[in-house]
Amino acid sequence: MRKMGAERVQNFPLYSKKRTGRQFGQRINVPKPKILVMKKTALITGASSGIGAATARALAELGYNLVITGRRTNRLKSLNDELEEKYHVKVHVLGFDIQDRFQTQSALDGLPETFRHLDLLINNAGLAAGLEHIDEGDWRDWESMIDTNIKGLLCVSRIVSQWMIDQHIKGHIINMGSIAGTQAYENGAVYCATKHAVHALSQGMRMDLLKHGIKVTEIRPGMVETEFSIVRFHGDKDRADKVYEGIEPLTGEDIARIIAWIVTLPEHVNINDIEVMPARQANAFLTYRD
């Protein structure tokens, strides 16, 4: 267990002394519940938009101090200001390209000491680029997916899990997978392969980190309307909008709510993985549209 200092107080659970009632004519002695609040710190990759930004808001609302990372530092800075002002938590912006492991390493190395006590890592950064048959795929798309979804997640996990172990923190790592991590579909071979990798890595990491008391959760969403499809179609918004036509997709906030639920479960409980999709989607292949 991490040492508690003056300001290291826990968000949850709330500890309270049992109330005692009148016994054998004794005076009623009802101690006020004691609330012990310990600030936790989370690092979220890909926090500048979508699921990442929504998760930052949800965790800030729970009282987490945050390290928010991504490439778009302007967006991260305005999120930083919003979170500090609205939730009175401490936020640190780290701008780097997760596809570059040297940049990632040096950005994390430069993290101020107060933000290195990480209780929670949300491996959210990820993307899909292109949607075509394997013989027509663009090598640059494949590289950006492999470098972000697999190598980026690996690099950050390697560093942060080592920090957690060194500091004896019973931490939690949440990997953003996808239904594409268990179901491959036509035109998406490489994206699906990267998310299958996240699925396998989540299972392996859970075993490797078990003895250190570090929990690993994988979340596998179906359709979530964020910038995901716009990125997949290289900025073609009309094509992206068609993906969600006639269906109410999930939102970043829906996933953030699930994360907030997962991290507020008791310490002895872990959600290994969770598959979530819109009510109108059955799997990667079947949706029911208006």
Residues 6+ apart with CB under 8 A from 10: 4, 36, 37, 38, 39, 40
Nearest to 96 by CA among 166, 162, 43, 165: 43
Q: Which residues contact 265 (CB under 8 A, 6 or more apart)?
A: 271
Tell me if residue 281 falls in helix, strand or coil.
strand
- Identify the residue whose tokens are 């991290």: 263
Backbone CA torsion sign across 96, 98, 100, 102: positive
Say how far apart CA 81 and CA 84 lie, in whole Å.
5
Closest separation in Å from C-beta 180 to ligand 8X3: 4
Please report how close the Cβ of residue 191 comes to ligand 8X3 at its closest, in angstroms: 7
d(CA 60, CA 87): 6
Interatomic CA distance for residues 128 and 244, integer angstroms: 16
Identify the helix (H) or strand (E) that includes residue 14: none
CA separation for the pair 221, 218 (Å, rounded): 10
Residue 116's CB is within 10 A of a number of other CB atoms, namely: 16
- 44, 70 contact by CB (below 8 A): no
Task: Please report which helix (H) or strand (E) contains residue 173, including its range.
Answer: strand 172-176
CB of 92 to ligand 8X3, least distance (A): 28
Residue 260 beta carbon to ligand 8X3: minimum distance, rounded to whole angstroms? 21
Rounded Cα distance, 89 and 63, in Å: 6
Cβ closest to ligand 8X3, residue 129 vs residue 180: 180
- Cβ nearer to ligand 8X3, comparing 214 with 277: 277
User: Looking at beta carbons only, is 28 or 279 nearer to ligand 8X3?
Assistant: 279
Instruction: Specify the 3-state DSSP secondary structure of 228.
Output: helix
Residue 119 vs 225, nearer CB to ligand 8X3: 225
Minimal distance, residue 284 CB to ligand 8X3, in Å: 5
Between 44 and 255, CB nearer to ligand 8X3: 255
Q: Is the dihedral of CA 159, 163, 165, 169 positive or negative?
A: negative
Between 186 and 267, CB nearer to ligand 8X3: 186
Which residues of this protein are in contact with ligand 8X3, per CB under 6 A?
178-180, 222-223, 284
191 is known as an active-site residue:
yes
Shortest CB 44 distance to ligand 8X3, Å:
18
- Residue positions annotated with a catalytic role: 191
